[in-house]
Amino acid sequence: MFQKTSGIHIDGRKAMSKKLTMEEYFNPEYVYIHLIKNIGPLKATVAAGDEVKIGQVVAVREGFGEMNVSSSVSGTVTGIKKVWHSSGRMVEAIEIKNDFQNTMDPHIKPNKNIDSLTREEYIEKMKLAGLTGLGGAGFPTYIKYITHLPIDTVIINAVECEPYLTCDFSFILEYPEKLMKGLHHFIKAANAKRGVIVYKNYNKEIKESLQKYLHKYPNISLFEVEDVYPAGWEKYIIERVTGKTYTGLPSEVGVIVNNSSTAIVFADIVEHNIPLISRPITITGEGVKKPRNFFVPIGTKVSELVEKCEGYADGLLPTKANYIAGGPMTGRAILIDDLIVNDTLGAVIVKPFVEKLHPECLGCGKCADVCPAYLTPTEIKKAVESNDLNLIKALNANSCVQCGLCSYVCPSHVEITDAVVKAKDMLRKGAK
């Protein structure tokens, strides 16, 4: 109770998608650019019939978190359609037909004056490239960097603590040098003193591939964390690396945390002006024949990627399987396998589930034991059932990070995470 945040070990099941190396797949026939980013809506700047090039701006986000969103293929805009988004809703998207010419927008060219970039120029580049965190939350990256607080450390989160996911892992193995460069630029953009790359202790390959470049960047170091869930949580990482805790944002303790894939993409943004147009994704799970990782343009249909994995496993009954967008702990079940890759979608997992009879909550308290935020989910559930907003507030339900551990450990299969999420919803509505 007085100890540091801790987690529990979860069987990673990552081996299945590590068997094959990452495949670059750049030629989908159609791409769909969602007109939503993070939680903000986008305004399309192209109309049906327009010719677009790779990297051309097709939509903008206005107001808080303003940024540009670029096309990921070259071709013709064929209209605006409603397609599935990883948030589980249908969202409007710009449909672009690929002409397979791969013509680049003129502004994509190697950057000359890389070493003399100022902090403002870095932030401008992030904004123009539409860079958001590729870890899963999709928070606009530049907002982290316009803080006025002094930043001491930039941490690269390469932990990938969710089971099944290996896209960050294989992306680093593909581009270790870009990761170091991206972090180097992040450090400069934040005026920080040092950079730390955090990875899980069993990922020896990451250590091996990055070690060759360490001598070039004396202010960058590696840091191992143990194999527990949720070791990829920002608070957990910062506590392990710096020993400090905070309540609001990491910049309070002089730290910025970025995902490893974000850093690799950022290296391209700085050196070649390539905006955020593609991302790594894992297609995996027991329901897929040959799970593997892809590097794909944003807007690709997931069903095409599943076909490249040789389709669903034999004997898979879709009605007895979940089709999960994101990691198995925090992701969301999508009803129809017609999903489009967006900037926050790190994985699609197809996984049959077990049907078992479960008794009621027996009150063992395992959920309270594992909670990394020291909450008591059973009490929050009771407060939700009795609609007691004050009690929910007193129980601090807002500090829940939705890691899903309480439902994971529950021996009675109680949907306890869901109850806490409901409590957070009630707080949000009640506050209005």
Partner 1 sequence: MARFANGKAPYLRMADQDNKGTGIIMRDFLIGLMPVILFAWYKNGIAVFMDGNTTFFGMLYPLFFILAGAVSSMLMEAVFFFFTDPEARTLPSLMKKLSLSYAIIPGLILALMLPMYTPIWVLMFGTFIGNIVGKMIFGGFGHNIWNPALLGYAVIKFTFMGLINASGGYFNPSEMIALYDATAGSTPLVVLSSSPFSYDSIVAPFGNLWTFFVGMTPGGMGETSVMVMLVSYLWLSFRKVIKWTTPLIYVGAVFGLSWIVGALNGDAGLWFPVYSILSGGLMYGAVFMITEPVTTPKNPLGKIYFALMLAVLTVLFRFVGSLPEGVGTSIIVMNIFALPIDKYTAIIRANRWRKPAWFKIATLAVILIAIGLYAVIKAGNVYTDIILPILPFGGVM
- The residues of the shown chain that bind partner 1, judged by CB under 8 A, are 1, 10, 163, 303, 312, 318-324, 328-338, 349-351, 353-354, 356-365, 367-369, 373-376, 378-379, 391, 394-397, 399, 402, 404-405, 407-413, 415, 417-418
Nearer to partner 1, 119 or 358 (CB): 358
Nearer to partner 1, 176 or 328 (CB): 328
Asked whether the beta carbons of 53 and 77 are under 8 A apart, the reply is: no
Size of the chain, expressed as the number of residues it contains: 432
- Least Å from the CB of residue 49 to partner 1: 28
CA–CA distance, 328 with 281 (Å, rounded to integer):
14
- Least Å from the CB of residue 411 to partner 1: 4
CA–CA distance, 220 with 222 (Å, rounded to integer):
7
- Least Å from the CB of residue 418 to partner 1: 5
26 — phi, psi (to 5°)? Answer: -110, 5
Nearer to partner 1, 10 or 296 (CB): 10
Nearer to partner 1, 175 or 408 (CB): 408
- Least Å from the CB of residue 84 to partner 1: 11
**Cα dihedral 152, 157, 158, 161 sign:** positive
Cis omega before residue 163 (within 30°)?
no
**Strands (DSSP E) found in 139-275:** 153-158, 194-200, 220-225, 255-259
Nearer to partner 1, 128 or 421 (CB): 421
In angstroms, how far is the first alpha carbon of the chain from the final one? 33
- Least Å from the CB of residue 23 to partner 1: 23
Q: Could you give the angle at which helices 377-385 and 416-431 cross, rounded to 10 degrees?
A: 60
- Least Å from the CB of residue 155 to partner 1: 23
- Least Å from the CB of residue 126 to partner 1: 30
Structure tokens at 328: 């198995």
Nearer to partner 1, 298 or 329 (CB): 329
Nearer to partner 1, 8 or 104 (CB): 8
- Least Å from the CB of residue 333 to partner 1: 5
Nearer to partner 1, 60 or 361 (CB): 361
Asked whether the beta carbons of 158 and 207 are under 8 A apart, the reply is: no
CA–CA distance, 403 with 322 (Å, rounded to integer):
19
**Cα dihedral 297, 303, 306, 308 sign:** negative
Q: Could you give the angle at which helices 176-190 and 260-272 cross, rounded to 10 degrees?
A: 80
For 166, 264, 291, 424, the CA distances from 307, given in Å and listed in that order, are: 19, 27, 11, 38
Cis omega before residue 230 (within 30°)?
yes
Nearest 5°: the CA angle 52, 57, 62 is: 145
Nearer to partner 1, 51 or 338 (CB): 338
Nearer to partner 1, 368 or 389 (CB): 368
**Beta carbons within 8 Å of 428's beta carbon, 6+ residues apart:** none
Quick one: which of 340, 336, 339, 301 has its CA closest to 321?
A: 336
- Least Å from the CB of residue 312 to partner 1: 8
- Least Å from the CB of residue 354 to partner 1: 4
